[in-house]
Amino acid sequence: MSPFRGSIPFTQESTQFRFNVADQVANITFTRPDKLNALTFEGYADLRDLLHEIPSRGDVRVIVLRGEGTAFSSGGDVHEIIGELLKMHSHELLDFTRMTGEVVKAMRECPVPIVAVIHGIAAGAGSVLALASDFRIVSRSGKFAFLFTKVGLAGADMGSAYLLPRLIGLGRATQLLMLGDTISAEVADKFGLVSVLVEDEEIESQLNALVHRLVEGPAFAYAQTKALLSRELDMSLSGALELEAMTQALLMTTEDYAEFYKAFSEKRAPTWKGR
Ligand SMILES: CC(C)(COP(=O)(O)OP(=O)(O)OC[C@H]1O[C@@H](n2cnc3c(N)ncnc32)[C@H](O)[C@@H]1OP(=O)(O)O)[C@@H](O)C(=O)NCCC(=O)NCCSC(=O)/C=C1/CC=CC=CO1
């Protein structure tokens, strides 16, 4: 069995992040500000297990991922890499790299939208967690560093060579993943990596506005949209058209769909139920 927990569900507080649910918002906050919220093996595994668990709770409409202090996350914990990873055998290393990939898989397969709040640096695995989120609210102090080649690893890690070109194009993804340079919030915005660019002091109000929209909106339609966006990436056009046709036909039977037209006729805003 993998040493990285794996089949053990996330049931208690993590030592790596704080988790709470309030008003249908799941807040996951990395809590190692003195290490710029570096991720330990336990941190990755806890995050993966928590992301597997959240959808089944039924009380969460949006997940907010953020870091305490001055950074989002500086990626893998360098001290743990030096102390443990460098001593591992190849089969243990493969367990580890697969486990980190499972975090990204859990994020992309999670039907609940994920919003990453980027102030300060998102580096290494931290930049990939931002990339794998559905929305990135980035303040002027935000920075991204897909720095894997700078530590002697392939720039493609945790699915970044899959996700990044799809988000910002092959040319810019090559530049970021191969050179590993740190880019500012402005450059990230120009490249298309940013969903909302905000002044530092506006980050909470802009986050609240987006979270409010996602909480109040049609959750089932959002979940299906996320699933289609992921699944259609590798499909033929005819496969994608068929999948969308089946999904829309399903959504046309929901209470939310009927509610929109009822509300339209009654000249009022719809009340979404997520079903
Ligand atoms: C570029 C930096 C992220 C930020 O630089 P700077 O703003 O100048 O801040 P520092 O002074 O360097 O850091 C402040 C303190 O935080 C500690 N710290 C920073 N990053 C880490 C970290 N990743 N792990 C542990 N501790 C960290 C730093 O030591 C300072 O503490 P002290 O004051 O007590 O010394 C810069 O910090 C930096 O380059 N950090 C390392 C980034 C890194 O190498 N990340 C890991 C990359 S690999 C990865 O993320 C993921 C995987 C997963 C999959 C497969 C294989 C490998 O790794």
Q: How far is the CA of 14 from the centre of ligand 1 (A)?
A: 20
Domain that holds residue 139: 17-216
CATH code where residue 246 lies = 1.10.12
Does the beta carbon of 77 sit less than 6 angstroms from any atom of ligand 1? yes
ipTM for the complex shown:
0.97
Domain finish residue from 175, 192, 216: 216
Does the beta carbon of 262 sit less than 6 angstroms from any atom of ligand 1? no
d(CA 258, CA 100): 41
d(CA 40, CA 258): 47
In a 13 Å sphere around the CA of 90, the CA atoms on its Cβ side amount to: 0
Candidate of 16, 74, 118, 184 to mutate for ligand 1, largest count of ligand atoms within 8 Å of Cβ: 74
Q: State phi, psi for 199 to the nearest 5 degrees.
A: -70, 150
Report yes or no on 273 lying in a domain: no
Q: Quick one: how far is CA 94 from the chain centroid?
A: 23
Tokens of 173: 């993804």
Q: How far is the CA of 210 from the centre of ligand 1 (A)?
A: 30
Report yes or no on 61 lying in a domain: yes
Give the pLDDT of residue 269: 93
Same domain assignment for residues 159 and 240 = no
Domain finish residue from 197, 216, 235: 216
Give the pLDDT of residue 2: 55
Give the pLDDT of residue 245: 86
d(CA 48, CA 129): 11
Report yes or no on 3 lying in a domain: no
Query: How many folded domains does the chain comprise?
Result: 2
Does the beta carbon of 123 sit less than 6 angstroms from any atom of ligand 1? yes
Which atom of ligand 1 is least distant from the CA of 128? 50
Give the pLDDT of residue 255: 93
Same domain assignment for residues 142 and 237 = no
Q: How far is the CA of 76 from the centre of ligand 1 (A)?
A: 7
Does the beta carbon of 159 sit less than 6 angstroms from any atom of ligand 1? no
Same domain assignment for residues 187 and 249 = no
d(CA 195, CA 213): 14
What lies within 8 Å, CB to CB, of 88 at 6+ separation is: 96
Report yes or no on 247 lying in a domain: yes
Does the beta carbon of 75 sit less than 6 angstroms from any atom of ligand 1? yes
3-state secondary structure (DSSP) of residue 61: coil
DSSP letter string, 175-204:
HHHHH--EEEHHHHHHHT--SEEE-GGGHH
Strands 25-30 and 17-22 come out as antiparallel
Same domain assignment for residues 26 and 149 = yes
Same domain assignment for residues 57 and 177 = yes
Same domain assignment for residues 181 and 246 = no
d(CA 38, CA 165): 25
pTM, two decimals, is: 0.92
Tokens of 241: 């058209």
Count other C-beta atoms under 10 Å from residue 273's C-beta: 12
Contacts of 150-156 with CB under 8 Å at 24 or more apart are 150/180, 151/124, 155/180
Does the beta carbon of 122 sit less than 6 angstroms from any atom of ligand 1? no
CATH code where residue 92 lies = 3.90.226.10
Give the pLDDT of residue 119: 96
Running along the chain, 275 residues long, what does each successive block of 10 average in pLDDT?
A: 55 82 96 97 93 92 98 95 85 90 96 98 98 98 96 90 96 97 98 97 97 97 96 88 87 90 92 92
- Among protein residues, the one with the nearest Cα to ligand 1's atom 28 is 35
Angle CA 141–158–41, to nearest 5: 85
Give the pLDDT of residue 13: 72
Eight-state DSSP code of residue 39: B
End-to-end CA distance of the chain: 38
Q: How far is the CA of 38 from the centre of ligand 1 (A)?
A: 7
* Dihedral sign, Cα of residue 180, residue 186, residue 187, residue 188: positive
Q: Are 128 and 104 in contact (CB under 8 A)?
A: yes
Q: State phi, psi for 115 to the nearest 5 degrees.
A: -110, 120
Q: How far is the CA of 46 from the centre of ligand 1 (A)?
A: 20
- Among protein residues, the one with the nearest Cα to ligand 1's atom 52 is 76
Q: How far is the CA of 123 from the centre of ligand 1 (A)?
A: 8
Does the beta carbon of 79 sit less than 6 angstroms from any atom of ligand 1? yes
